[in-house]
């Protein structure tokens, strides 16, 4: 048989019992206030960083969609042997400067720079309008990007698209379209937190 000293056992078990009772009684008011204070501090630190990340993701998504839209138009012109146009269309099929609205890519079969449903011109793809009051700017008064069958741009439709998020213009990004029709997305070349073109020109929204 084992001889157990009951008084010694109680002493050994006492710390565990006290610990158990401490857990069972819940948080004290002081502990609760301290927890709330810590959470508040962490939230204050995390929220600005989270907001910046959300804005950056939104800008990157828009730039990526616009890049694919322009590339689709260029490839369509080359493959079809006809002029392809990217622009924001009115209900009457005319191109406008409202680049923040829905953008369309269509084949301009009769070369009149408008989308003519009556002439069976093809609408290839669209990009949804920009939300949250962000801005998309292209050149000065430019109404379209028009690709020739060679893949080059027609006329003076080259320029730089600038996407400007509301209240976060330092996170603006751009896409440069050369006369050759090639596309170049902006990047933060000098690591100052702001995007520049390949010619080291900062993307601004003025």
Strand partners, 202: 196
Secondary structure (DSSP) of 15-50: HHHHHHHHHHT---HHHHHHHHHHHHHHHHHHHHHH
Residue 106, in any domain of the structure? no
For residue 77, give both structure tokens.
């012109």
Q: Residue 46 — very low, low, confident or very high, per pLDDT cuts 50/70/90?
A: low
Number of domains comprising the chain: 1
The string of pLDDT tens digits covering residues 115-163 is 998 889 999 999 999 988 999 999 888 999 999 999 999 987 789 999 9
Strand partners, 185: 175
Query: Per-residue pLDDT for 1 more than 90?
Result: no
Q: Could you give the CA distance from residue 106 to residue 119 in angstroms, rounded to a whole number?
A: 12
Which range of residues forms the domain containing residue 143?
Answer: 28-79+131-185
Q: Residue 38 — very low, low, confident or very high, per pLDDT cuts 50/70/90?
A: confident
The string of pLDDT tens digits covering residues 47-99 is 666 788 889 999 999 999 999 999 999 999 999 999 999 999 999 999 999 99
Residue 46, in any domain of the structure? yes
**Residue 4: what pLDDT?**
46
Residue 100, in any domain of the structure? no
Residue 203, in any domain of the structure? no
Token look-up 């508040």 returns: 40
Residue 55, in any domain of the structure? yes
Residue 191, in any domain of the structure? no
CATH number of the domain that 64 lies in? 3.55.40
Q: Could you give the CA distance from residue 155 to residue 120 in angstroms, rounded to a whole number?
A: 25
């Amino acid at each position: 048989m084992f001889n157990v000293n009951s008084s010694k056992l109680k002493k050994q078990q006492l710390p565990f019992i006290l610990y158990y009772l401490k857990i069972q009684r819940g948080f004290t008011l002081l502990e609760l206030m301290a927890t709330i204070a810590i959470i508040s501090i962490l939230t204050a630190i995390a929220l600005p960083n989270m907001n910046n990340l959300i804005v950056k993701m939104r800008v990157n998504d828009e730039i990526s969609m616009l890049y694919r839209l322009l590339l689709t138009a260029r490839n369509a012109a080359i493959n079809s042997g006809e002029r392809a146009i990217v622009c924001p269309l009115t209900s009457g099929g005319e191109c406008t400067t409202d680049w923040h609205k829905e953008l369309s890519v269509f084949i301009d079969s009769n070369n009149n720079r408008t989308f003519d449903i009556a002439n069976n011109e093809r609408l290839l793809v669209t990009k949804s309008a920009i939300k949250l009051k962000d801005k998309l700017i292209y050149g000065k008064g430019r109404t379209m990007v028009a690709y020739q069958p060679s893949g080059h741009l027609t006329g003076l439709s080259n320029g730089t698209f600038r996407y400007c998020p509301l209240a976060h213009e330092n996170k603006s990004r751009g896409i440069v379209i050369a006369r050759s029709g090639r596309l170049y997305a902006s990047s933060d070349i000098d690591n100052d937190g702001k995007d520049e073109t390949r010619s080291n020109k900062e993307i601004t929204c003025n």
